[in-house]
Chain A
Amino acid sequence: MPEKSPSVLVIDTQPARAAIIEEGLRAAGYERVDIITDFNGIAQRIEASEPDVIVMDLGNPGRDTLENMLSITRAVRRPVAMFVDQSDKQSMEQAIEAGVSAYVVDGLRKERVRSIMEMAISRFNAFSRLERELENAKSALTERKTIDRAKRLIMTSRSLDEDSAYKLLRTTAMNQNRRMVEVAESLLLSASLLGDGGAES
């Protein structure tokens, strides 16, 4: 960075996401990065960090509050123009799709803003992917538990060993062209409706 690097303020209610954006910005050579994860005393904190760029998640209901602080009550000494470049609709669209908004000090070089925004957008997208994977992992775990419980139910009700119970479940699913977990779920549900003790917990 030949000239003084712009200071970036990341406002995000998800600390984990704020952290990966900060890390990305630092890796790209932006040394002045601040993070705010809650709105308490935000005006003073913005004033203290004097940001050139503010990055904020779109899911944050505090966006209107922030915009008001920036444009009306002048909590920030310097006027802040909204978004990267008023004519650059495409980058704004990408930002909105990724779930991120930005506020920029007027006069900041466009290329600078663009590189910060590209970083924020890619990190937001990466975070969404992570979240989805985590969600999938969580549901995989729940599915395995459901199948285990169904298996135990079959073992007791049909007096089968574990391996045979599992095979029975799998064959049933295959024959009915359903997922094993679906068969397991309906088995547990019906057992609970019939008052069979196996479906509790």
Chain B
Amino acid sequence: MTTQIRAGFLPLIDAAILIAAREMGFAEEHGIDLSLVRETSWANVRDRLAVGHFDAAHILAPMPIAANLGLTAIGQTLIVPMALGLGGNAITVSNDLHASLGSPPQGQPAESAEALARYIESHRETRLRFAVVHPFSAHNIELRYWLAAGGISPDQDVDIVVLPPALVPDALAARTIEGYCVGEPWNTVAVLAGTGKILTTKSAIWASSPEKVLAVSDQIARTDMDLVHRIIRALTQSAQWCAASDNADALAELLSRADYLAKAKGDIISALLGPAAYEPFHGAATFPWQSHALWLYSQMVRWQMAEHSAENAELAASTYRPDIYRSALAATDVPVPTANAKVEGALQSSAHVGAKSGGQDSALLMGPDGFFDNRKFDPDRLEDYLRAQSNSSPSADLHI
């Protein structure tokens, strides 16, 4: 029995798991006829998912949370039964700004944030403009986290604008923006074009951090859980394939195709292997940690995108469904964490954590998952975390 599944995606490196699942036959192996639809905006992906044009989608990790909190569009509950990898972003700035900041090392976000704070302090006459691709994106959230940790107010000291990913390198080249935090390949593209330099990376700001996820409507989960399980199994196989370095060349070939990223294969390979490379599988990269959902939520509250209540926190956490992921892979030999959440930032280096593999106890090599400012996020102590985090942004009414 073959089931037709239509999934939306944006042309980015981390759409790889969906693309390889279709092209390498993993979907078919699990009885899924997977068709992929390239979209031009995240808003379209979200809306077409909500009205049922798409059964599943490659989507920004905070977007399903925002949808379930009623912050966007229509009331269709979305669930995240699987993540689509970790990392894969960077903060890229113009060559001039990079030089003005003293070309700080990529792996030292604290240094670059300090340099930027000094620069802003001595250039009060102009406001630097940074681009992200969507307000409810990990890019916006990590850019803000990095700025704030450096003592820069994301709302008062700089401008953060939203641009479609593909337009961002041109905007940098034209200097209508001075920097951006965007997924690959768009950082590598600017570096190769000689118009920008990577200042720091997502994984330097927060190691093993969430980026894109798989969203499906809860209607499918209610009516056909077996189908959701099959999708997860197919995509897990695909994630393993994408993660194998032997397949990098074949993967780059696929992604470069006109119907996918439509970029030169060489650019794709550079992005797959570059400083902002993403992790499709290892370290439970596709496990939908509820602590990821809650941390993203904590930042949405921090920047007044969402209002905090116990109920909203519960809605955010339960958007991510590790239980479904676990059931889907129970009979396979893929090691799956036994916990639904973890203390984010606890692992400063890689460590083995408890896992089950085919029903047997096993261990899974995880992390590191540290934040660059060494803060830790304990999802059981959300209230404390929310209270402790600085928010230098005044209520929006003040600066209209």
| A binding-site residues for B, Cβ under 8 Å | 58-65, 67-69, 71-74, 77, 82-83, 86-87, 89, 92-93, 96, 101
Stretch touching chain A among B39-47, B113-121, B241-249, B361-369: B39-47
Would you call B195 an interface residue if the criterion is a C-beta within 8 Å of the partner chain's C-beta atoms?
Answer: no
Is A64 a contact partner of B74 (Cβ separation < 8 A)?
A: no
- Given A62-B164, A65-B163, A68-B161: A92 and B74 interface contact (C-beta under 8 Å): yes
Give residues of chain B (107-144) contacting chain A, Cβ–Cβ below 8 Å: 133-135
Q: Does B73 contact A (CB under 8 A)?
A: yes
Bound CA–CA A87/B73 (angstroms): 10
B263 at interface, CB cutoff 8 A: no
Chain A, residue nearest B74 (CB)? A86
Residues of B within 8 A of A58 (CB): 40-41, 44
Q: Which residue of A lies closest to B304 (CB)?
A: A72
Distance in angstroms from B158 CB to nearest chain A CB is: 12
Cα distance A96–B74 in the bound complex, in angstroms: 13
- Cβ distance A6 to chain B, nearest Cβ, rounded Å: 21
Of chain B, the residue at the smallest CB distance from A67 is: B43
Task: Closest A residue to B76 by CB, please name it.
Answer: A89
The answer to the question of B72 belonging to the interface, with a C-beta cut-off of 8 Å to chain A, is yes
Does B264 count as interface, using CB distance less than 8 angstroms?
no
Q: How far is the CA of A69 from the CA of B47 in the complex (A)?
A: 18
Q: Decide: A65 and B135 in contact? CB cutoff 8 A.
A: no
Are A82 and B44 also in contact (CB < 8 A) when A77-B400, A92-B51 are? no
Q: Are B53 and A87 in contact (CB under 8 A)?
A: no
Q: When the two chains form the complex, which single residue of A64, A71, A73 contacts B133, counting CB atoms closer than 8 Å?
A: A64
Question: A59 contacts which chain B residues (CB < 8 A)?
Answer: 40
**Quick one: which of B51, B52, B76, B134 contacts A64, CB cutoff 8 A?**
B134
Q: Which residues of A contact B396 (CB under 8 A)?
A: 74
Is B43 touching A63 in the complex (CB atoms < 8 A)? yes
Contacts A61-B166, A61-B167; is A68 near B135 (CB within 8 Å)? yes
Given contacts A92-B51, A96-B47, A101-B47, contact A72 B41 (CB under 8 A): no
Q: Which of A64, A77, A92 contacts B43 (CB 8 A)?
A: A64
A-B contact pairs, 28 of them (CB 8 A): A58-B44, A60-B40, A61-B41, A61-B166, A64-B41, A64-B42, A64-B134, A65-B161, A67-B72, A67-B162, A68-B135, A69-B162, A71-B135, A72-B135, A72-B305, A77-B400, A83-B73, A86-B73, A89-B50, A89-B51, A89-B74, A92-B47, A92-B74, A93-B52, A93-B53, A96-B47, A96-B48, A101-B47
**Chain B contacts with A in 230-262, Cβ cutoff 8 A:** none
Task: Give complex CA distance A80, B66 in Å.
Answer: 16
- Taking the complex as formed, is B75 at the interface, i.e. its CB lies under 8 A from any CB of chain A? yes
Is B74 a contact of A65 with CB atoms below 8 Å?
no
Enumerate B161-195 residues with CB–CB distance to A below 8 Å. 161-164, 166-167
Residues B37-83 near A (CB distance < 8 A): 40-44, 47-48, 50-53, 71-76
Complex CA distance for A13 and B312, rounded to whole angstroms: 38
Instruction: Name, among A63, A69, A73, A77, the residue most crowded by chain B CB atoms within 10 Å (CB to CB).
Output: A63
- At the interface, is chain B mostly helix, strand, loop or mixed? loop
Contacts of A101 in B (CB 8 A): 43, 47
Question: 8 additional contacts, CB 8 Å, given A64-B163, A92-B47?
Answer: A58-B40, A58-B44, A63-B40, A64-B41, A93-B53, A96-B47, A96-B51, A96-B53
| Cα separation A62 to B161 with both chains bound (whole Å) | 12
- Residues A63 and B400 in contact in the complex (CB < 8 Å), given A68-B161, A82-B73, A86-B75: no
Contact present for B75 and A87 (CB under 8 Å): yes
Chain A residues, CB < 8 A from B42: 64
Is the beta-carbon distance between A63 and B135 smaller than 8 angstroms?
no
Residue of B nearest to A77 (CB): B400
User: Chain B residues near A64 (CB, 8 Å)?
Assistant: 41-43, 133-134, 162-164
Q: How far is the CA of A120 from the CA of B134 in the complex (A)?
A: 26
Closest to B305 in A: A72
Report the minimum CB–CB distance from B119 to chain A (whole Å). 23
Name the B residues within 8 Å of A62 (CB-CB).
41, 164
Closest approach, in angstroms, between the C-beta of B369 and any C-beta of chain A? Answer: 28
- Give the docked Cα–Cα distance between A112 and B41 (Å): 28
Given the interface pairs A59-B40, A74-B400, the reply to whether A67 lies near B75 with Cβ below 8 Å is: no
Residues of B within 8 A of A68 (CB): 134-135, 161-162
Complex alpha-carbon distance, A96 and B52, angstroms: 11
B164 in contact with A83 (CB, 8 Å): no
B304 to chain A, nearest CB (A): 9
Known: A92-B47, A92-B51, A101-B43. A65 touches B164 (CB 8 A): yes
Question: In the complex, what residue of chain B is closest to A56 when comparing beta carbons?
Answer: B43
A72 to B231, CA, bound (A): 35
Instruction: Name the distance in Å between B72's Cβ and chain A's nearest Cβ.
Output: 6
- Within 8 Å CB of A74, what residues of B? 396, 400
> Which B residues are CB-close (under 8 A) to A86?
73-75
Complex CA distance for A72 and B162, rounded to whole angstroms: 10
Asked if B72 and A82 sit within 8 Å, CB to CB, the answer is yes
Complex Cα gap A96–B41 (Å)? 13
7 residue pairs, one from A and one from B, having the closest CB atoms: A68-B162, A61-B164, A63-B41, A63-B43, A61-B40, A93-B51, A65-B162
